A and B are shown apart, each in its own frame.
Chain A
């Protein structure tokens, strides 16, 4: 089955700890994205990558970091510098980053920082 996998589904961390969220896709898509979702706020773009070994900041990149060493993988690290990390995180991918390309979403990871 082709799709996007995010793990784990639920994640709990203590304040001040870094945490890495996994995102893997087997759709052979070039572009990958990370979004943050908060209740009543819609989705906000954290980082995106159009090609391996390249990525750009989105609208709310502060306190987050990413890497794109492989086409199928785009992990997101939530650092201790992120002031309010508790949220639902969604990974997406698309064939490329053209205007009509559809973004396909993973099932999400809910991060709770205690």
Chain B
């Protein structure tokens, strides 16, 4: 089974603090993703990475940066946390594979980090 782990389930930080969210996957997946999920807005992609040291901006990268120094680890950094970054943060990984009869990229998610910025 694919396992994606995140460093914290719950985190409370103050405005202006630097915040690090860590994600580790154990299935040698090429692709890793950071999303945030807010009520009524669904999952929104912040950044993704398709290889070590490679990164691409998603839909809402402002206020965030990422780091991928090793294939299994993808970090999300909030340089200066703000209250509007209070959210559920979900990490995911995926790889090209076959699922039944078709080529399929299936994403596997970590348990999420619920971040509150006060």
Partners in one complex: no
Give the A-binding residues of B (Cβ under 8 A): none
